[in-house]
Amino acid sequence: MDALSDLLAPHSETIGKIAGTITTLQFLSGIALLNDIRKKGSSDIYPIGPFLGGIVLTVLSLKLGQIMGDQPMINVNVIGFAINSIFLVGFYYYASSESKSKIWIKIGYAALFLMACIAYANFEDPKQIEFRLGMLITSILVWLVGSPLLNLPDIIKKKSTEGMPFPIIFAGQLVATAWTLYAVSIRNHVMVYQNLFLWVLGGIQLVMFVIYPSTPAKKPAAKSEKKKEK
């Protein structure tokens, strides 16, 4: 990896800008989901995870960027936080009165979690927290990115990838690739392993699209009726 790092190091700033641009575009993928919510007039049947999880990730990644002194990472997560906050407001706007109370509870849990993480990061040794916070972010990302794989047995059974969000998965793969290259260029092993793992998870999902179509699986033809006895 040292040879590749030497090759990419002079271009690390450019690679960081490209990675940030791709990540910003990925953040905007939530527009499609928000548009579906708008058409239905309600967000009750949709999970809040993509938006609230996005806020949690961007806040933690912003803190990690500050600890590392990584400006491209800081810039992209400031934008990501703003975008996900707008999406969350839209999600809340279309929620029913009953669901709004549940949303506030989830926001409260997320806020407490973030305050605990940031307080810990402020008091922990910077050398230790960089690795530990990186692993925490990786764990959350793995949960968000890998969650579609929970439906893998059902996909194989139906022989169809219907319902899997190909644009979001493909965009995530591009993001993981870009940040892996950036991490190699700045010799940050935590970021390299983090994004390589996400790349593998995304790759498994993309392979499913190659093997199985995204159209609904055809039902087996009904057996022909037996001829009536004469």
**What local confidence, expressed as pLDDT, does residue 134 receive?**
79
Question: 30, 57 in Cβ contact below 8 A?
Answer: no
Question: 176, 198 in Cβ contact below 8 A?
Answer: yes
Q: Give the count of beta carbons closer than 10 Å to the beta carbon of residue 90.
A: 19
Residue ranges covered by each domain of the chain: 1-211
The tens digit of pLDDT for each residue in 52-98 reads: 888 998 999 898 888 888 887 888 889 889 988 998 999 899 999 88
Query: Torsion angle, CA of 132/136/137/140, rounded to 10 degrees?
Result: 170
| Maximum mean pLDDT: which of 108-122, 128-142, 143-157, 208-222 | 108-122
Q: Residue 226 class from Cβ within 10 Å (0-12 exposed, 13-18 middle, 19+ buried)?
A: exposed
Whether pLDDT at 112 is above 90:
yes
Evaluated on CA atoms 117, 53, 75, 185, the torsion sign reads: positive
Among the listed residues 111, 226, 107, 206, the one whose alpha carbon sits nearest the alpha carbon of residue 165: 206
3-state helix, strand, coil in the chain (%, to 5): 80, 0, 20
**What local confidence, expressed as pLDDT, does residue 23 receive?**
78
Q: Residue 93 and residue 83: Cα distance in Å, rounded?
A: 16
**What local confidence, expressed as pLDDT, does residue 85 receive?**
92
Query: Torsion angle, CA of 34/35/40/44, rounded to 10 degrees?
Result: 0
User: In the 8-state DSSP scheme, what is residue 206?
Assistant: H
Q: Residue 22 and residue 20: Cα distance in Å, rounded?
A: 6
Whether pLDDT at 130 is above 70:
yes
The tens digit of pLDDT for each residue in 2-44 reads: 777 778 788 888 888 888 788 777 777 778 778 878 888 888 8
Q: Give the count of beta carbons closer than 10 Å to the beta carbon of residue 25.
A: 12
